[in-house]
Chain A
Amino acid sequence: MKYVDEFRDPSSSLKLSAAIADTVSRSWSIMEVCGGQTHSIVRHGLDKLLPDSVSLIHGPGCPVCVTPLEMIDAAIHLASRVDLIFCSFGDMLRVPGTNQDLQQAKAKGGDVRIVYSPLDALEIAKNSPTQEVVFFAVGFETTAPANAMAVYQARENAIDNFSIVVSHVLVPPALHTILSHSDNQVNGILAAGHVCTIMGEEEYVPIANQYGTPIIVTGFEPLDILQGIYLCIKQLERGQANVVNQYSRSVRRHGNTAAKNMINEIFEVVPRSWRGLGKIPKSGLALRDKYSEFDAMRKFNIKTIPAIEPEFCISGQILQGLKKPPECPMFGTVCTPEHPLGATMVSAEGTCSAYFKHRIPLGECSAI
């Protein structure tokens, strides 16, 4: 068992696809929350295996996409300082800020380093004791335990030249925002399997009950996603709205307790602005007061300045599942992964990037 090929078997895909077609009796819209799931759907053409009456809506689960513009600007501001080393996950480097991105700050002389793990940034701090090292701590519940551990280890090992810019977001409050929207078209949800690996499935039960929306905790391989859709359609057809765990090889009912405990030790829940969705109450994490010495915004006295999104970019509507990339006149012409105008084109996990990579036939792209 290698946990990949077994879940990509084409004959099982066709069986699940036919089972979905046999079950469905009317139109349903299902939102996959995570950008990783969106990529799997578009890459493997899973939406093409569904009957016309089942449509997939791509959700907001791309951390790069939803990090607010003012936090990107704050990160760029820090990264441009000559007196510090700025560390980030690689996919944040080309996210456009108001005037430039981190890659450009690096080109202009900023010491910007890509790290694979926040522990790598901590190691840099340990090895460069005379320099300040700042890590850009973004992401959903999946990356929060890693970032929390870096702060915990910094405290344990008295590494005081390390700090983080925190822009963490949480999935359930965003689902409330989407499902309570007057234009909501979502009938069922495929919850993000790796977020639930950390947090468990219980916090989704009140959401399923409140909105009458079935929620299937779903993995990322093609058969996971098709099974998630099948289980969701079965509930919708029966008028049920339960939380079901499709991804049981990774997700335990209560999640990963050690990881959750570390998140709670380091972070507290705060309101957070989401790029494309606006400010959502209790939707983010920030450092607790007792760890405030590791808050880079405080350490370097950085104030965020509200930033204005480009008017022509529809990434906000894409993130809410209200529109799909081909509905944007800029898509694939002015806006490309090389020259992204908005968040959903920047990240490898973004919906526009997925459509660009897998859905534009060669020769049809008029990138400028």
Chain B
Amino acid sequence: MCLGIPGKIVSIVKAPLRMAKVSFGGILKEVCLAYCPEAELGDYVVVHAGFAISTLDEKEARKTLDYFDQIGDQQPKVSS
């Protein structure tokens, strides 16, 4: 129950609770957006027990990926 998987919001219904259809690699699930009021169509959200618990931040994700590149730059010998 605790495994949170990122999925993409493909549609949003606003009543009574704000609900979305979220695609997990093509498999669609109904997800409650009550805790992610900022989430919009096309955003990726982390889903737990039928609730989106965060909207993934692309800028922060890119920073993390850049960090991996930087490691490679600092330590050229390791990739050999």
A143→B79 contact, CB < 8 A: no
Bound CA–CA A269/B5 (angstroms)? 28
Q: How far is the CA of A197 from the CA of B79 in the complex (A)?
A: 33
A168 to chain B, nearest CB (A): 12
Q: Is the interface of B mostly helix, strand, loop or mixed?
A: mixed
A-contact bits for B1-15, CB 8 A (1 contact / 0 none): 111101010000000
> Shortest distance in angstroms between A338's beta carbon and chain B's nearest beta carbon?
21
- Given the complex, which residues of A lie within 8 Å of B63, measured CB to CB? 248
Contact of A120 among B44, B48, B50 (CB under 8 A): B50
Are the CB atoms of B68 and A34 closer together than 8 Å?
no
A194 lies within 8 A of B72 (CB): no
What's the least CB distance linking A164 to chain B, in Å?
A: 13
Partner of B2, one of A3, A16, A61, A117: A61
Interface string of A1-39 (1 = CB under 8 A from B): 111101101011011111101100000000000111001
Residues of B within 8 A of A (CB): 1-4, 6, 8, 17, 29-30, 32, 34-37, 44, 46, 48-51, 53-54, 56-58, 60-65, 67-69, 71-72, 74-75, 77-79
| Residue pair A22, B75 in contact (C-beta under 8 Å) | yes
Residues of B within 8 A of A116 (CB): 29, 49-50
Report yes or no: B67 in contact with A227, Cβ–Cβ below 8 A.
yes
The 10 nearest A-B residue pairs measured at CB = A117-B50, A18-B78, A146-B49, A249-B61, A3-B6, A12-B68, A248-B60, A89-B1, A249-B60, A259-B35
- In this complex, what residue of B is CB-closest to A147? B49
Are B2 and A63 in contact, CB atoms less than 8 angstroms apart? yes
Q: How many A-B residue pairs have CB under 8 A?
A: 152
Would A139 and B64 count as touching, CB distance under 8 A? Answer: no
Apart from A12-B71, A138-B1, A248-B64, 10 more pairs, CB < 8 Å:
A1-B58, A12-B72, A19-B75, A61-B2, A63-B1, A119-B50, A139-B2, A143-B2, A146-B32, A149-B34
Partner of A15, one of B3, B46, B49, B78: B78
Interface of chain A, main secondary structure: helix
- A229 cross-chain contacts in B, Cβ below 8 A: none
Q: Are A4 and B34 in contact (CB under 8 A)?
A: no
Contact of A117 among B4, B49, B54, B74 (CB under 8 A): B49
Interfacial residues, chain A to chain B (CB-CB below 8 A): 1-4, 6-7, 9, 11-12, 14-19, 21-22, 34-36, 39, 61-64, 89, 91, 116-120, 138-140, 142-143, 145-147, 149, 153, 194, 197-198, 220, 223-224, 227, 230, 246, 248-252, 256, 258-259, 262, 348-349
Q: With the chains together, A7 CA to B65 CA distance in Å?
A: 8
14 contacts between A and B (CB under 8 A): A1-B44, A7-B65, A15-B71, A15-B75, A18-B78, A63-B2, A139-B1, A142-B4, A142-B48, A153-B17, A197-B4, A198-B53, A258-B34, A258-B35
